[in-house]
Amino acid sequence: MTDSLPFIVDARPDAVMAYRGAQPIHVAEFLGDVASLAARLPDHRHVINLCIDRYRFTVAFAAALMREQISLLLPNETSDLIEAVAADYPDLYCLTDSSFRHAAIPCVDYPDSVERPAMSADRLHFPETQPAALVFTSGSTGRPVPNLKKWGSLVRSARAAGDSFNVGNLAGAVLLATVPQQHMYGFESTVLLALQHGLAIHGGRPFFPADICAYLDELPRPRVLVTTPIHLRALVAEPGAVLPAVDFLLSAAAPLTPQLAIEAEARFHAPLYEIYGCSEAGQVASRRTTQTDEWRCFKDIALRQDDQGTWASGKVIAADVLLQDVIELRGGDCFLLHGRTKDMVNVAGKRNSLVHLTHHLNSIPGVRDGVFMMPEDDGEAVTRLIAFVVAPGLTADAIMSALRQRIDAAFLPRPLCLVDCLPRNATGKLPHAALTKLAAEFAGK
Amino acid sequence: MSDTNSETRASNPDQEFELSKLIVGTLNLEIEPSQIDPEAPLYGDGLGIDSIDILEIALAVSQTYGFKLRSDDKNNVQIFSSLRSLNRYIQQNRVK
């Protein structure tokens, strides 16, 4: 017999577990919504939960678990990826609270229901071994690779992460986030983190700095903001603007500069922690960036190195994961990050492999040769990729349009340079120096 | 709800050109401001800007026109659907 673990640790019926706008939602109401939705879900085994409203997403995730359905988390929603996944999971359906539709999979609308049948919180305890989520990463050949997460691993990982920065001290707080819950880091650091530590989830996902401030202003304290370096940079961009006080800041997805961390802590009057992780392993470590550059692994996660690189392993990681960053182990459970390995790129918090992107570029009919490269990072603004393409007969617009079908918008090249040939050497390889020179020529034009 | 007449009235080539210059300058786009078709989508197959760019544009708009873009009225996609609609929104809300 295996143990079961609760979906929500503070299951008192009158506890506030979410806010929609300034409106609190209590556990009893949440349980009613889950019961109602669980009874309506189609009888399939795999679901893509695209609910934009974080409360509805949470209801839908709980309802899927009740029905023993597995939620698929995709790195993006490009047409090609959805088709590829739909081909591998023929019973896949999509649950949505927007107008999203896709020809390859049936889409079910999140119901606007008012009935809330009474349900005991005991129904939301799930076996540790129950398959809960399939987290996809884009493999180097372009085929999406699934990573299975069991309920027990998700819960243990969320608890270890929250314990590492004592988020339990903020029980009763409300967590507002700008990150999408459809991606692994957003899923872990909002829905799972909050519900495993007695925090309430805010249903919204504010986008503009003015939205974030307005949403925070109408919430009671204590309050937590989960965001990314991109949003933090936008929030502090206006000198002197007064930002609403928060009690805890969490940043994920891409490394923060120490300067931005110092500024954010001062402007929000709150400690700022960063989480390091990847889709395959999930969250791995955290640090308070203003105090140390060393990352500390979460409980039960260990790193080791061999000639291939750095591996993460632990109870919450099903199979050891080779990390795509250059890491220096500092003894105990601490390490330093020294940027990505050569092939990996990170644009605004999204990771991809140059080999993978180049593969997609060369799959476009009419492209004879092509390559993606990452220019030198200037440390400030978001650095975009450059592509060099040999494609007589195609316009740059036509190639961009084809790329848009294949890859996430953040990785689209700026610029896309049409050239007569690529500077390949005698062995057919493309030396980085030759590409850098070519990029400089285009920049000088 | 704005009707077709008020939308026609609200298009102003000079204002749109100023906004074009602001966008091209903010995002370091490799095109001339006059090349942005005021009716073409800013997202996707048009100008190809994404959400990271929109945060940059929001900051530039705040500094130039003195008001902050908001999206909680769910009109974000519509506001950024073209240069013309973005300009119309800015002109309705600008305080400088």
- Smallest Cβ–Cβ distance between A210 and the set B45, B56, B69 belongs to B69
What is the distance, to the nearest Å, from the Cα of residue A49 to the centroid of all Cα atoms in its chain? 14
Best to test chain B binding among A207, A238, A411, A412 (most B CBs inside 10 Å): A207
Contact check, Cβ <8 Å, A401/B45: yes
Q: Are A181 and A187 contacting, i.e. CB atoms less than 8 angstroms apart?
A: yes
Q: Are A403 and A412 contacting, i.e. CB atoms less than 8 angstroms apart?
A: yes
B83 falls within a domain: yes
B59 falls within a domain: yes
Amino acid at A362: N
Domains and CATH numbers, chain A: 4-340 (3.40.50.12780), 344-444 (3.30.300.30)
Q: Report pLDDT digits (tens) over A182-208.
A: 988 999 999 999 999 999 999 999 999
Domain containing residue B66: CATH number: 1.10.1200.10
pLDDT reported for residue B42: 86
B2 falls within a domain: no
B3 falls within a domain: no
CA distance A65 to A419: 52
How many C-beta atoms surround the C-beta of residue A286 within 10 A?
22
Contact check, Cβ <8 Å, A211/B72: yes
Predicted confidence band at B4 (pLDDT cuts at 50, 70, 90)?
Answer: very low
Q: Report pLDDT digits (tens) over A384-400.
A: 899 999 999 999 999 99
H helix or E strand, kind and range, residue A47: strand A46-49
How many domains is chain B built from?
Answer: 1
Q: Given the DSSP bridges, would you call strands A350-353 and A344-347 parallel, antiparallel or unpaired? A: antiparallel
B47 falls within a domain: yes
B55 falls within a domain: yes
Best to test chain A binding among B28, B47, B49, B50 (most A CBs inside 10 Å): B50
Q: Report pLDDT digits (tens) over A289-343.
A: 999 999 999 998 999 999 888 999 998 888 899 998 889 999 889 999 887 777 7
Tell me the average pLDDT of chain A: 90
pLDDT reported for residue B2: 43
CA distance B92 to A313: 55
DSSP-assigned letter for residue A439: H
- Domain encompassing residue B57: 11-27+40-93
Q: Are A178 and A209 contacting, i.e. CB atoms less than 8 angstroms apart?
A: no
- Smallest Cβ–Cβ distance between A211 and the set B48, B54, B71 belongs to B71
B33 falls within a domain: no
pLDDT reported for residue B5: 44
Averaged over A25-35, what is the pLDDT? 97
Helix and strand element counts for chain A (H, E): 12, 27
State residue B87 phi and psi, 5-degree precision: -60, -40
The radius of gyration of chain A from alpha carbons, rounded to an integer in Å, stands at: 23
- Smallest Cβ–Cβ distance between A410 and the set B52, B59, B68 belongs to B52
Q: Could you tell me which of A219, A304, A231 has the C-alpha nearest to residue A312?
A: A304
Q: What is the pTM of this model?
A: 0.85
Q: How is residue A225 written in tokens?
A: 């903001």
Contact check, Cβ <8 Å, A207/B71: yes
Predicted confidence band at B53 (pLDDT cuts at 50, 70, 90)?
Answer: confident
Q: Are A49 and A61 contacting, i.e. CB atoms less than 8 angstroms apart?
A: yes
pLDDT beyond 70 at A140: no
Q: Are A273 and A245 contacting, i.e. CB atoms less than 8 angstroms apart?
A: no
B84 falls within a domain: yes
